[in-house]
Structure 1
Amino acid sequence: MKFYNRLIFTSLLFAAIVSCKSQQKTLVTDGSELVQVANNFSFTEGPASDKNGNVYFTDQPNNKILKWNQADNSINTFMESSGRANGLYFDNDQNLLAAADDKNELWRIHENGKIDTLITDFEGKKLNGPNDIWVDKKGGIYFTDPYYQRDYWTRKEADIKEKNVYYISPDLKNISIVAKGLAQPNGIIGTPNGKKLYVADIGDKKTYSYSIQENGTLSDRTLFTDMGSDGMTIDNLGNIYLTGEGVTIFNSKGEQLKNIPINENWTANVTFGGKNQDVLFITAMGSVYTLQMNVHGVRY
Protein backbone atom coordinates (compact mmCIF):
# COMPACT_ATOMS: atom_id res chain seq x y z
CA MET A 1 0.00 0.00 0.00
CA LYS A 2 2.85 2.40 0.85
CA PHE A 3 4.46 1.66 -2.51
CA TYR A 4 1.12 2.26 -4.25
CA ASN A 5 0.62 5.61 -2.51
CA ARG A 6 4.18 6.60 -3.32
CA LEU A 7 3.59 5.66 -6.96
CA ILE A 8 0.45 7.85 -7.11
CA PHE A 9 2.30 10.79 -5.50
CA THR A 10 5.22 10.41 -7.93
CA SER A 11 2.84 10.26 -10.89
CA LEU A 12 0.99 13.38 -9.78
CA LEU A 13 4.25 15.25 -9.18
CA PHE A 14 5.54 14.24 -12.60
CA ALA A 15 2.28 15.35 -14.23
CA ALA A 16 2.49 18.72 -12.48
CA ILE A 17 6.08 19.24 -13.62
CA VAL A 18 5.24 18.26 -17.19
CA SER A 19 2.20 20.56 -17.17
CA CYS A 20 4.27 23.47 -15.84
CA LYS A 21 7.01 22.94 -18.44
CA SER A 22 4.42 22.57 -21.18
CA GLN A 23 2.85 25.90 -20.24
CA GLN A 24 6.28 27.54 -20.27
CA LYS A 25 6.77 26.43 -23.85
CA THR A 26 3.36 27.56 -25.02
CA LEU A 27 3.31 31.05 -23.47
CA VAL A 28 5.57 32.55 -26.13
CA THR A 29 4.92 31.85 -29.80
CA ASP A 30 7.48 29.42 -31.24
CA GLY A 31 10.23 31.26 -33.08
CA SER A 32 9.20 34.72 -31.88
CA GLU A 33 11.91 37.02 -30.57
CA LEU A 34 11.90 40.10 -28.39
CA VAL A 35 11.78 43.20 -30.62
CA GLN A 36 13.06 46.59 -29.49
CA VAL A 37 10.57 48.97 -31.10
CA ALA A 38 12.33 52.16 -29.97
CA ASN A 39 15.01 53.29 -27.52
CA ASN A 40 14.95 57.07 -27.74
CA PHE A 41 13.11 57.84 -24.50
CA SER A 42 14.27 58.72 -20.97
CA PHE A 43 12.17 56.36 -18.85
CA THR A 44 9.12 54.51 -20.16
CA GLU A 45 6.21 53.43 -17.98
CA GLY A 46 2.48 52.77 -17.69
CA PRO A 47 1.50 50.93 -20.92
CA ALA A 48 -2.25 50.62 -21.54
CA SER A 49 -4.02 49.13 -24.55
CA ASP A 50 -7.09 50.69 -26.18
CA LYS A 51 -9.92 48.69 -27.77
CA ASN A 52 -8.05 48.53 -31.09
CA GLY A 53 -4.86 47.16 -29.56
CA ASN A 54 -2.84 50.37 -29.76
CA VAL A 55 -0.71 50.89 -26.65
CA TYR A 56 -0.30 54.22 -24.86
CA PHE A 57 2.72 54.63 -22.58
CA THR A 58 4.50 57.38 -20.70
CA ASP A 59 7.93 58.96 -20.81
CA GLN A 60 7.74 60.58 -17.40
CA PRO A 61 11.00 62.59 -17.38
CA ASN A 62 10.00 64.17 -20.70
CA ASN A 63 6.40 64.71 -19.53
CA LYS A 64 4.82 62.90 -22.49
CA ILE A 65 2.29 60.21 -23.31
CA LEU A 66 3.19 58.25 -26.44
CA LYS A 67 1.09 55.96 -28.62
CA TRP A 68 2.27 52.75 -30.28
CA ASN A 69 0.18 52.07 -33.38
CA GLN A 70 -0.22 48.32 -33.70
CA ALA A 71 -1.08 48.45 -37.42
CA ASP A 72 2.28 49.80 -38.60
CA ASN A 73 4.49 49.51 -35.48
CA SER A 74 4.99 53.29 -35.36
CA ILE A 75 5.14 55.54 -32.29
CA ASN A 76 3.66 59.03 -32.10
CA THR A 77 3.22 61.61 -29.36
CA PHE A 78 -0.32 61.56 -27.97
CA MET A 79 0.10 64.30 -25.36
CA GLU A 80 2.70 66.86 -24.38
CA SER A 81 2.56 68.30 -20.84
CA SER A 82 0.98 65.13 -19.51
CA GLY A 83 1.15 66.00 -15.81
CA ARG A 84 4.24 63.79 -15.44
CA ALA A 85 1.92 60.85 -16.00
CA ASN A 86 3.13 57.49 -14.72
CA GLY A 87 0.63 54.61 -14.83
CA LEU A 88 -2.16 54.57 -17.42
CA TYR A 89 -5.36 52.56 -17.86
CA PHE A 90 -8.42 52.84 -20.09
CA ASP A 91 -11.78 53.12 -18.35
CA ASN A 92 -14.88 51.34 -19.60
CA ASP A 93 -15.77 54.29 -21.85
CA GLN A 94 -12.34 54.25 -23.49
CA ASN A 95 -11.13 57.40 -21.75
CA LEU A 96 -7.48 57.23 -20.75
CA LEU A 97 -6.88 57.40 -17.00
CA ALA A 98 -3.49 58.75 -15.95
CA ALA A 99 -1.67 58.81 -12.62
CA ALA A 100 -0.57 62.44 -13.03
CA ASP A 101 2.41 62.60 -10.73
CA ASP A 102 3.24 66.30 -11.15
CA LYS A 103 0.50 67.45 -8.76
CA ASN A 104 -0.36 64.01 -7.36
CA GLU A 105 -3.63 63.77 -9.24
CA LEU A 106 -5.68 61.21 -11.13
CA TRP A 107 -6.71 62.39 -14.60
CA ARG A 108 -9.30 61.26 -17.11
CA ILE A 109 -8.19 62.15 -20.63
CA HIS A 110 -10.79 62.17 -23.39
CA GLU A 111 -9.96 61.24 -26.98
CA ASN A 112 -9.98 64.92 -27.95
CA GLY A 113 -7.40 65.68 -25.24
CA LYS A 114 -9.83 67.24 -22.74
CA ILE A 115 -8.71 66.56 -19.16
CA ASP A 116 -10.88 65.94 -16.10
CA THR A 117 -9.09 65.93 -12.74
CA LEU A 118 -10.80 63.14 -10.81
CA ILE A 119 -8.92 63.43 -7.53
CA THR A 120 -6.02 65.29 -5.97
CA ASP A 121 -6.42 64.72 -2.22
CA PHE A 122 -7.92 62.40 0.39
CA GLU A 123 -9.69 63.82 3.43
CA GLY A 124 -8.02 67.17 2.85
CA LYS A 125 -4.51 65.76 2.53
CA LYS A 126 -2.55 65.66 -0.71
CA LEU A 127 -2.06 62.21 -2.19
CA ASN A 128 1.45 60.76 -2.13
CA GLY A 129 1.58 60.26 -5.89
CA PRO A 130 -0.88 57.93 -7.68
CA ASN A 131 1.17 55.31 -9.48
CA ASP A 132 -0.73 52.44 -11.11
CA ILE A 133 -4.41 51.95 -11.97
CA TRP A 134 -6.97 49.21 -12.57
CA VAL A 135 -10.67 49.61 -13.44
CA ASP A 136 -13.36 47.07 -12.53
CA LYS A 137 -16.41 46.07 -14.59
CA LYS A 138 -18.61 48.62 -12.85
CA GLY A 139 -16.22 51.46 -13.62
CA GLY A 140 -14.75 51.69 -10.14
CA ILE A 141 -11.10 52.73 -10.07
CA TYR A 142 -8.37 51.16 -7.93
CA PHE A 143 -5.02 52.92 -7.68
CA THR A 144 -1.82 52.55 -5.69
CA ASP A 145 -0.38 55.56 -3.88
CA PRO A 146 3.27 55.04 -2.86
CA TYR A 147 5.64 57.93 -2.20
CA TYR A 148 8.61 58.58 -4.45
CA GLN A 149 10.24 61.95 -3.86
CA ARG A 150 10.39 63.79 -7.20
CA ASP A 151 12.91 66.47 -8.07
CA TYR A 152 10.14 68.55 -9.67
CA TRP A 153 8.12 68.75 -6.41
CA THR A 154 8.41 71.63 -3.98
CA ARG A 155 7.31 69.47 -1.04
CA LYS A 156 9.82 67.22 0.71
CA GLU A 157 7.57 64.84 2.65
CA ALA A 158 4.22 63.14 2.36
CA ASP A 159 1.00 64.54 3.83
CA ILE A 160 -0.28 60.97 4.18
CA LYS A 161 2.29 58.83 5.98
CA GLU A 162 0.75 55.50 4.98
CA LYS A 163 1.12 54.12 1.47
CA ASN A 164 -2.32 52.83 0.58
CA VAL A 165 -4.46 51.40 -2.18
CA TYR A 166 -7.60 53.45 -2.87
CA TYR A 167 -10.92 52.80 -4.58
CA ILE A 168 -13.04 55.41 -6.34
CA SER A 169 -16.69 54.40 -6.66
CA PRO A 170 -18.14 54.06 -10.20
CA ASP A 171 -20.10 57.31 -9.79
CA LEU A 172 -16.80 59.01 -8.83
CA LYS A 173 -18.40 60.42 -5.67
CA ASN A 174 -16.61 58.40 -3.01
CA ILE A 175 -13.00 57.43 -2.41
CA SER A 176 -11.89 55.00 0.26
CA ILE A 177 -8.80 53.13 1.44
CA VAL A 178 -9.18 49.45 0.55
CA ALA A 179 -5.69 48.15 1.35
CA LYS A 180 -3.17 49.39 3.90
CA GLY A 181 -0.16 48.08 5.79
CA LEU A 182 2.04 48.15 2.69
CA ALA A 183 5.60 49.46 2.42
CA GLN A 184 5.40 50.81 -1.14
CA PRO A 185 2.42 49.55 -3.20
CA ASN A 186 3.04 49.82 -6.91
CA GLY A 187 1.79 47.44 -9.63
CA ILE A 188 -1.89 46.47 -9.61
CA ILE A 189 -4.14 44.26 -11.74
CA GLY A 190 -7.48 42.50 -11.34
CA THR A 191 -8.93 39.31 -12.78
CA PRO A 192 -11.45 39.56 -15.65
CA ASN A 193 -14.27 38.19 -13.49
CA GLY A 194 -13.68 41.02 -11.03
CA LYS A 195 -13.25 38.69 -8.06
CA LYS A 196 -9.55 39.07 -7.28
CA LEU A 197 -7.10 41.96 -7.15
CA TYR A 198 -3.32 41.62 -7.16
CA VAL A 199 -1.18 44.33 -5.56
CA ALA A 200 2.61 44.40 -5.70
CA ASP A 201 4.38 45.81 -2.64
CA ILE A 202 7.70 46.60 -4.25
CA GLY A 203 8.99 48.12 -1.01
CA ASP A 204 8.64 44.80 0.81
CA LYS A 205 9.40 42.54 -2.19
CA LYS A 206 6.02 40.83 -2.04
CA THR A 207 2.85 40.57 -4.11
CA TYR A 208 -0.53 39.94 -2.53
CA SER A 209 -3.95 38.85 -3.75
CA TYR A 210 -7.22 40.16 -2.33
CA SER A 211 -10.83 39.09 -2.73
CA ILE A 212 -12.98 41.87 -4.21
CA GLN A 213 -16.32 42.37 -2.50
CA GLU A 214 -19.55 43.55 -4.15
CA ASN A 215 -19.03 47.12 -2.89
CA GLY A 216 -15.43 47.26 -4.11
CA THR A 217 -13.78 46.69 -0.73
CA LEU A 218 -11.05 44.09 -0.37
CA SER A 219 -10.67 41.12 1.98
CA ASP A 220 -8.66 37.92 2.43
CA ARG A 221 -5.21 39.39 1.86
CA THR A 222 -3.00 36.46 0.82
CA LEU A 223 0.69 36.33 -0.06
CA PHE A 224 0.90 35.49 -3.76
CA THR A 225 4.69 35.45 -4.14
CA ASP A 226 7.84 36.72 -2.44
CA MET A 227 8.55 39.14 -5.25
CA GLY A 228 7.54 42.76 -5.66
CA SER A 229 6.89 44.44 -8.98
CA ASP A 230 6.88 47.82 -10.65
CA GLY A 231 4.01 47.05 -13.00
CA MET A 232 1.91 44.01 -13.82
CA THR A 233 -0.62 42.45 -16.16
CA ILE A 234 -2.66 39.26 -16.55
CA ASP A 235 -3.38 36.91 -19.47
CA ASN A 236 -6.42 34.85 -20.47
CA LEU A 237 -5.14 31.84 -18.51
CA GLY A 238 -4.93 33.83 -15.30
CA ASN A 239 -1.13 34.04 -15.33
CA ILE A 240 0.32 37.11 -13.62
CA TYR A 241 3.23 39.06 -15.17
CA LEU A 242 5.56 40.91 -12.78
CA THR A 243 8.39 43.26 -13.74
CA GLY A 244 11.78 44.35 -12.43
CA GLU A 245 14.50 42.02 -13.65
CA GLY A 246 12.83 41.35 -16.97
CA VAL A 247 9.28 39.99 -16.96
CA THR A 248 8.52 37.07 -14.64
CA ILE A 249 5.36 35.05 -15.21
CA PHE A 250 3.49 33.19 -12.46
CA ASN A 251 0.43 31.00 -12.71
CA SER A 252 -2.60 31.73 -10.53
CA LYS A 253 -1.16 29.52 -7.77
CA GLY A 254 1.93 31.71 -7.47
CA GLU A 255 4.23 29.19 -9.18
CA GLN A 256 6.86 30.72 -11.44
CA LEU A 257 6.46 29.64 -15.05
CA LYS A 258 8.96 31.71 -16.98
CA ASN A 259 11.26 34.72 -16.96
CA ILE A 260 11.63 36.86 -20.07
CA PRO A 261 15.03 38.55 -19.80
CA ILE A 262 15.28 42.16 -20.98
CA ASN A 263 18.71 43.63 -21.65
CA GLU A 264 18.06 46.76 -19.59
CA ASN A 265 18.87 47.82 -16.02
CA TRP A 266 15.19 47.81 -15.12
CA THR A 267 11.92 46.61 -16.61
CA ALA A 268 9.16 48.93 -15.45
CA ASN A 269 5.86 47.71 -16.82
CA VAL A 270 4.01 45.40 -19.18
CA THR A 271 0.64 44.94 -20.90
CA PHE A 272 -0.95 43.14 -23.83
CA GLY A 273 -1.64 44.96 -27.08
CA GLY A 274 -2.09 44.29 -30.77
CA LYS A 275 -5.24 43.61 -32.77
CA ASN A 276 -5.73 40.23 -31.07
CA GLN A 277 -4.28 41.28 -27.69
CA ASP A 278 -1.50 38.73 -28.15
CA VAL A 279 1.49 41.08 -28.29
CA LEU A 280 3.31 41.54 -25.00
CA PHE A 281 4.29 45.23 -24.81
CA ILE A 282 7.13 45.95 -22.38
CA THR A 283 8.52 49.26 -21.10
CA ALA A 284 12.12 49.17 -19.86
CA MET A 285 14.32 52.17 -19.12
CA GLY A 286 14.40 54.31 -22.31
CA SER A 287 13.04 51.55 -24.53
CA VAL A 288 9.87 49.71 -25.45
CA TYR A 289 9.74 46.10 -26.63
CA THR A 290 7.22 43.69 -28.11
CA LEU A 291 6.99 39.90 -28.03
CA GLN A 292 4.49 37.70 -29.86
CA MET A 293 2.60 35.44 -27.46
CA ASN A 294 0.35 32.38 -27.64
CA VAL A 295 -1.72 33.73 -24.76
CA HIS A 296 -3.54 37.04 -24.87
CA GLY A 297 -4.72 39.84 -22.65
CA VAL A 298 -8.27 40.29 -21.45
CA ARG A 299 -10.90 43.00 -21.94
CA TYR A 300 -14.44 43.48 -20.67
Structure 2
Amino acid sequence: MKKCFLLSILSLICLLCNAQSPIFVQDSLKLISSQFKFTEGASVDKEGNVFFTDQPNNQIWKYGTDGKLSLYLDQSGRANGTYFDRKGNLIVCADEQNQIWSIDQHKKIKVLFSDFEGKKVNGPNDLWLDAKGGIYFTDPYYQRDYWTRQKAEIEKQRVYYLPKGKKTAIIVADDVIKPNGIVGTPDGKFLYVADMDANKTYRYQINVDATLTNRQTICSQHSDGMTLDSNGNIYLTGKGVTIYKPTGEKIGHIDVPEEWCGNICFGGKNKDVLFITASKSIYRIQTSAKGVE
Protein backbone atom coordinates (compact mmCIF):
# COMPACT_ATOMS: atom_id res chain seq x y z
CA MET A 1 0.00 0.00 0.00
CA LYS A 2 2.80 2.37 0.95
CA LYS A 3 4.67 1.53 -2.28
CA CYS A 4 1.54 2.20 -4.38
CA PHE A 5 1.02 5.50 -2.58
CA LEU A 6 4.60 6.59 -3.31
CA LEU A 7 4.25 5.59 -6.95
CA SER A 8 1.06 7.61 -7.20
CA ILE A 9 2.79 10.66 -5.71
CA LEU A 10 5.71 10.28 -8.14
CA SER A 11 3.32 9.98 -11.07
CA LEU A 12 1.54 13.14 -9.97
CA ILE A 13 4.84 15.00 -9.67
CA CYS A 14 5.82 13.89 -13.17
CA LEU A 15 2.51 15.10 -14.56
CA LEU A 16 2.91 18.46 -12.86
CA CYS A 17 6.47 18.78 -14.12
CA ASN A 18 5.37 18.04 -17.66
CA ALA A 19 2.56 20.58 -17.35
CA GLN A 20 5.13 23.18 -16.39
CA SER A 21 7.40 22.33 -19.34
CA PRO A 22 5.50 23.18 -22.55
CA ILE A 23 8.69 23.45 -24.57
CA PHE A 24 9.78 19.93 -23.56
CA VAL A 25 13.38 20.94 -23.02
CA GLN A 26 15.60 18.17 -24.32
CA ASP A 27 18.94 19.51 -23.14
CA SER A 28 20.48 21.98 -20.74
CA LEU A 29 20.98 25.65 -21.55
CA LYS A 30 24.23 26.05 -23.49
CA LEU A 31 26.36 29.18 -23.74
CA ILE A 32 27.45 29.98 -27.29
CA SER A 33 29.56 33.04 -26.51
CA SER A 34 29.99 35.89 -24.01
CA GLN A 35 32.17 38.17 -26.12
CA PHE A 36 29.59 40.93 -26.59
CA LYS A 37 28.56 44.11 -24.80
CA PHE A 38 24.76 43.79 -25.00
CA THR A 39 22.98 41.35 -27.29
CA GLU A 40 19.55 41.96 -28.81
CA GLY A 41 17.42 41.50 -31.92
CA ALA A 42 17.41 37.72 -32.44
CA SER A 43 15.80 36.59 -35.72
CA VAL A 44 15.98 33.58 -38.02
CA ASP A 45 16.23 33.23 -41.79
CA LYS A 46 14.45 30.54 -43.81
CA GLU A 47 17.43 28.16 -43.52
CA GLY A 48 17.40 28.41 -39.73
CA ASN A 49 20.50 30.61 -39.34
CA VAL A 50 20.15 33.00 -36.41
CA PHE A 51 21.12 36.67 -36.57
CA PHE A 52 21.40 38.97 -33.57
CA THR A 53 22.72 42.41 -32.70
CA ASP A 54 25.36 43.77 -30.36
CA GLN A 55 23.98 47.29 -30.20
CA PRO A 56 26.69 49.08 -28.16
CA ASN A 57 29.36 47.69 -30.52
CA ASN A 58 27.24 48.57 -33.58
CA GLN A 59 27.33 45.04 -35.02
CA ILE A 60 25.13 42.25 -36.35
CA TRP A 61 26.27 38.66 -35.80
CA LYS A 62 25.31 35.35 -37.37
CA TYR A 63 25.13 31.91 -35.77
CA GLY A 64 24.84 29.40 -38.60
CA THR A 65 23.14 26.02 -38.66
CA ASP A 66 26.71 24.68 -38.98
CA GLY A 67 27.43 25.92 -35.44
CA LYS A 68 29.77 28.69 -36.59
CA LEU A 69 29.59 32.18 -35.10
CA SER A 70 30.67 35.07 -37.34
CA LEU A 71 30.43 38.83 -37.62
CA TYR A 72 27.82 39.56 -40.29
CA LEU A 73 27.88 43.37 -40.43
CA ASP A 74 29.91 46.09 -38.81
CA GLN A 75 28.54 49.65 -38.68
CA SER A 76 24.97 48.36 -38.49
CA GLY A 77 23.21 51.64 -37.66
CA ARG A 78 23.11 50.60 -33.98
CA ALA A 79 20.75 47.82 -34.96
CA ASN A 80 18.30 46.71 -32.30
CA GLY A 81 15.32 44.52 -33.25
CA THR A 82 15.51 42.54 -36.51
CA TYR A 83 13.22 40.38 -38.65
CA PHE A 84 13.50 38.66 -42.03
CA ASP A 85 11.08 39.41 -44.85
CA ARG A 86 9.97 36.76 -47.33
CA LYS A 87 12.67 37.71 -49.84
CA GLY A 88 15.43 37.08 -47.30
CA ASN A 89 16.16 40.74 -46.54
CA LEU A 90 17.05 41.49 -42.94
CA ILE A 91 14.76 44.27 -41.70
CA VAL A 92 16.41 46.24 -38.93
CA CYS A 93 15.47 48.84 -36.33
CA ALA A 94 18.44 51.15 -36.97
CA ASP A 95 18.48 53.08 -33.72
CA GLU A 96 21.40 55.39 -34.56
CA GLN A 97 19.28 57.66 -36.77
CA ASN A 98 15.89 56.28 -35.66
CA GLN A 99 15.28 54.55 -38.96
CA ILE A 100 14.20 51.18 -40.33
CA TRP A 101 16.57 49.52 -42.79
CA SER A 102 16.41 46.64 -45.22
CA ILE A 103 19.69 44.76 -45.64
CA ASP A 104 19.78 42.45 -48.65
CA GLN A 105 21.83 39.29 -49.05
CA HIS A 106 24.69 41.31 -50.53
CA LYS A 107 24.60 43.56 -47.43
CA LYS A 108 23.28 46.49 -49.44
CA ILE A 109 21.34 48.84 -47.17
CA LYS A 110 18.08 50.58 -48.06
CA VAL A 111 16.34 53.02 -45.72
CA LEU A 112 12.65 52.09 -45.51
CA PHE A 113 11.57 54.62 -42.90
CA SER A 114 13.19 57.75 -41.53
CA ASP A 115 10.61 60.06 -39.90
CA PHE A 116 6.97 60.54 -38.95
CA GLU A 117 5.34 63.76 -40.15
CA GLY A 118 8.77 65.38 -40.44
CA LYS A 119 9.89 64.41 -36.94
CA LYS A 120 12.29 61.74 -35.80
CA VAL A 121 10.53 58.96 -33.95
CA ASN A 122 11.77 57.97 -30.50
CA GLY A 123 13.77 54.95 -31.60
CA PRO A 124 12.33 51.92 -33.44
CA ASN A 125 12.97 49.08 -31.03
CA ASP A 126 11.37 45.84 -32.16
CA LEU A 127 9.36 44.79 -35.21
CA TRP A 128 7.22 42.15 -36.88
CA LEU A 129 6.23 41.75 -40.54
CA ASP A 130 2.81 40.65 -41.71
CA ALA A 131 2.10 38.49 -44.77
CA LYS A 132 1.76 41.59 -46.96
CA GLY A 133 5.26 42.76 -46.04
CA GLY A 134 4.02 45.57 -43.85
CA ILE A 135 6.04 46.36 -40.74
CA TYR A 136 4.66 46.78 -37.23
CA PHE A 137 7.21 48.42 -34.96
CA THR A 138 7.38 49.69 -31.40
CA ASP A 139 8.80 53.13 -30.66
CA PRO A 140 9.79 53.62 -27.01
CA TYR A 141 12.19 56.36 -25.93
CA TYR A 142 15.48 55.21 -24.41
CA GLN A 143 18.12 57.94 -24.33
CA ARG A 144 21.27 56.75 -26.11
CA ASP A 145 24.76 58.05 -25.39
CA TYR A 146 25.48 58.19 -29.14
CA TRP A 147 22.59 60.60 -29.83
CA THR A 148 23.08 64.36 -29.97
CA ARG A 149 19.45 64.99 -28.97
CA GLN A 150 18.53 64.90 -25.32
CA LYS A 151 14.75 64.67 -25.59
CA ALA A 152 12.09 63.18 -27.80
CA GLU A 153 10.67 65.04 -30.80
CA ILE A 154 7.44 63.04 -30.46
CA GLU A 155 5.94 62.96 -26.99
CA LYS A 156 3.95 59.72 -27.20
CA GLN A 157 5.52 56.28 -27.38
CA ARG A 158 3.46 54.24 -29.83
CA VAL A 159 3.15 51.26 -32.12
CA TYR A 160 3.34 52.11 -35.84
CA TYR A 161 2.62 50.26 -39.07
CA LEU A 162 4.62 50.87 -42.23
CA PRO A 163 2.84 49.49 -45.34
CA LYS A 164 5.06 47.71 -47.83
CA GLY A 165 6.61 50.10 -50.33
CA LYS A 166 5.50 53.20 -48.40
CA LYS A 167 7.65 55.76 -46.59
CA THR A 168 4.84 56.99 -44.36
CA ALA A 169 3.82 55.02 -41.27
CA ILE A 170 0.46 55.09 -39.50
CA ILE A 171 -0.23 55.01 -35.76
CA VAL A 172 -1.92 51.73 -34.81
CA ALA A 173 -1.64 51.85 -31.02
CA ASP A 174 -1.25 54.87 -28.77
CA ASP A 175 -2.91 53.28 -25.73
CA VAL A 176 0.44 52.05 -24.40
CA ILE A 177 3.01 53.78 -22.20
CA LYS A 178 6.32 52.31 -23.39
CA PRO A 179 5.87 49.56 -26.00
CA ASN A 180 8.80 47.23 -26.58
CA GLY A 181 8.57 43.54 -27.53
CA ILE A 182 6.25 42.68 -30.40
CA VAL A 183 5.21 39.60 -32.38
CA GLY A 184 2.24 38.55 -34.49
CA THR A 185 0.50 35.23 -35.03
CA PRO A 186 1.21 33.33 -38.28
CA ASP A 187 -2.42 33.65 -39.42
CA GLY A 188 -2.13 37.44 -39.19
CA LYS A 189 -5.09 37.74 -36.81
CA PHE A 190 -3.39 38.94 -33.62
CA LEU A 191 -0.48 41.11 -32.53
CA TYR A 192 1.20 40.86 -29.12
CA VAL A 193 2.75 44.02 -27.68
CA ALA A 194 4.62 44.31 -24.40
CA ASP A 195 4.39 47.54 -22.39
CA MET A 196 7.46 48.00 -20.24
CA ASP A 197 6.11 50.76 -17.97
CA ALA A 198 2.69 49.15 -17.50
CA ASN A 199 4.36 45.77 -16.87
CA LYS A 200 1.84 44.06 -19.15
CA THR A 201 1.65 42.18 -22.42
CA TYR A 202 -1.38 42.86 -24.61
CA ARG A 203 -2.97 41.11 -27.55
CA TYR A 204 -4.63 43.16 -30.28
CA GLN A 205 -6.86 42.04 -33.12
CA ILE A 206 -5.37 42.89 -36.51
CA ASN A 207 -7.95 44.30 -38.90
CA VAL A 208 -7.99 44.02 -42.70
CA ASP A 209 -6.62 47.57 -43.03
CA ALA A 210 -3.74 46.72 -40.59
CA THR A 211 -5.22 48.77 -37.75
CA LEU A 212 -5.48 47.28 -34.27
CA THR A 213 -8.54 46.90 -32.07
CA ASN A 214 -9.87 44.88 -29.12
CA ARG A 215 -6.86 45.14 -26.84
CA GLN A 216 -6.76 42.41 -24.21
CA THR A 217 -4.33 42.00 -21.31
CA ILE A 218 -2.67 38.59 -21.63
CA CYS A 219 -0.44 38.76 -18.57
CA SER A 220 1.00 41.14 -16.01
CA GLN A 221 4.54 40.93 -17.33
CA HIS A 222 6.41 43.05 -19.82
CA SER A 223 8.94 41.74 -22.31
CA ASP A 224 11.98 43.14 -24.09
CA GLY A 225 11.58 40.73 -27.00
CA MET A 226 9.22 37.82 -27.63
CA THR A 227 8.44 34.88 -29.87
CA LEU A 228 5.76 32.23 -30.43
CA ASP A 229 5.86 28.48 -30.94
CA SER A 230 3.64 26.40 -33.22
CA ASN A 231 1.20 25.78 -30.36
CA GLY A 232 0.65 29.51 -29.90
CA ASN A 233 2.61 29.71 -26.64
CA ILE A 234 4.21 33.11 -25.98
CA TYR A 235 7.84 33.39 -24.83
CA LEU A 236 8.63 36.59 -22.93
CA THR A 237 12.10 37.84 -22.01
CA GLY A 238 13.47 39.81 -19.09
CA LYS A 239 14.65 37.94 -16.01
CA GLY A 240 15.06 34.69 -17.88
CA VAL A 241 12.36 33.46 -20.25
CA THR A 242 8.75 32.97 -19.18
CA ILE A 243 6.24 31.01 -21.26
CA TYR A 244 2.49 31.62 -21.37
CA LYS A 245 -0.39 29.96 -23.13
CA PRO A 246 -2.42 32.19 -25.51
CA THR A 247 -4.97 32.39 -22.71
CA GLY A 248 -2.40 34.02 -20.41
CA GLU A 249 -1.75 31.00 -18.20
CA LYS A 250 1.88 30.80 -17.12
CA ILE A 251 3.22 27.36 -18.01
CA GLY A 252 7.00 27.53 -17.80
CA HIS A 253 10.18 29.45 -17.06
CA ILE A 254 13.79 29.12 -18.21
CA ASP A 255 16.42 30.47 -15.85
CA VAL A 256 19.27 32.22 -17.65
CA PRO A 257 22.40 33.16 -15.64
CA GLU A 258 22.53 36.77 -16.85
CA GLU A 259 21.14 40.07 -15.57
CA TRP A 260 18.75 40.49 -18.50
CA CYS A 261 17.42 38.63 -21.53
CA GLY A 262 16.86 41.02 -24.42
CA ASN A 263 15.41 38.88 -27.17
CA ILE A 264 14.60 35.39 -28.36
CA CYS A 265 13.82 33.27 -31.41
CA PHE A 266 13.62 29.67 -32.57
CA GLY A 267 16.33 28.66 -35.02
CA GLY A 268 18.23 25.69 -36.40
CA LYS A 269 17.35 23.57 -39.42
CA ASN A 270 14.13 22.36 -37.78
CA LYS A 271 13.38 25.63 -35.94
CA ASP A 272 13.40 23.66 -32.69
CA VAL A 273 16.35 25.32 -30.95
CA LEU A 274 15.56 28.32 -28.76
CA PHE A 275 18.16 31.10 -28.98
CA ILE A 276 18.31 33.69 -26.22
CA THR A 277 20.24 36.96 -26.34
CA ALA A 278 21.12 37.80 -22.74
CA SER A 279 23.27 40.74 -21.62
CA LYS A 280 26.78 40.07 -22.95
CA SER A 281 25.94 36.57 -24.15
CA ILE A 282 23.94 34.36 -26.44
CA TYR A 283 22.55 30.97 -25.39
CA ARG A 284 20.78 28.04 -27.01
CA ILE A 285 18.59 25.25 -25.73
CA GLN A 286 17.24 22.27 -27.66
CA THR A 287 13.45 21.78 -27.47
CA SER A 288 10.74 19.73 -29.13
CA ALA A 289 8.69 22.89 -29.65
CA LYS A 290 8.97 24.64 -33.02
CA GLY A 291 9.04 28.29 -33.90
CA VAL A 292 6.74 29.95 -36.40
CA GLU A 293 8.76 32.99 -37.48
Provide the TM-score with structure 1 as the length reference: 0.91
Structure 2: stretches of 5+ with no match in the other structure: 1-12
Distance 1:253 1:20 in 2: 19
Partner of 1:259: 253
Write the distance in 2 (CA, Å) between the matches of 1:196 and 1:18.
34
Contact 2:238 2:261 in 1 (8 A): yes
Deviations 1:107-153 (A, max 9, x none): 00011011010111101111100000100111111000000000000
Paired with 1:294 and 1:133, the residues of 2 have a C-alpha distance of 26
**1:29 positional shift:** 3.2
One-letter amino acid matched to 1:154? T
Matches within 5 A, 1:1-300: 22-30=18-26, 32-71=27-66, 73-299=67-293
Taking only aligned residues, the RMSD between alpha carbons, in angstroms, comes to 1.5
The answer (yes or no) to whether the contact 1:162–1:181 under 8 Å persists in 2 is no
Q: How far is 1:203 from its partner?
A: 1.7
- 1:209–1:221: 8 Å Cα contact kept in structure 2? yes
Alignment coverage as a number of residue pairs: 281
- Secondary structure, aligned partner of 1:148: coil
Give the SS at the match of 1:170: coil
Identity score, percent: 51
How far apart, in 1, do the equivalents of 2:213 and 2:21 lie? 34
Letter in 1 for 2:268: G
SS of residue paired to 1:283: strand
| Equivalent position amino acid for 2:24 in 1 | V
Amino acid at match of 1:61: P
Whether the 8 Å contact between 1:88 and 1:132 is mirrored in structure 2 is yes
Unpaired segments ≥5 residues, structure 1 = 1-16
Q: CA deviation at 1:26?
A: 4.8
After TM superposition, the score normalised by the length of structure 2 is: 0.93
Q: 1:119 to 1:173 in 2, by over 3 A?
A: closer
Kindly indicate whether the alpha-carbon contact (under 8 Å) linking 1:26 and 1:294 is maintained by their aligned counterparts in 2.
Answer: no
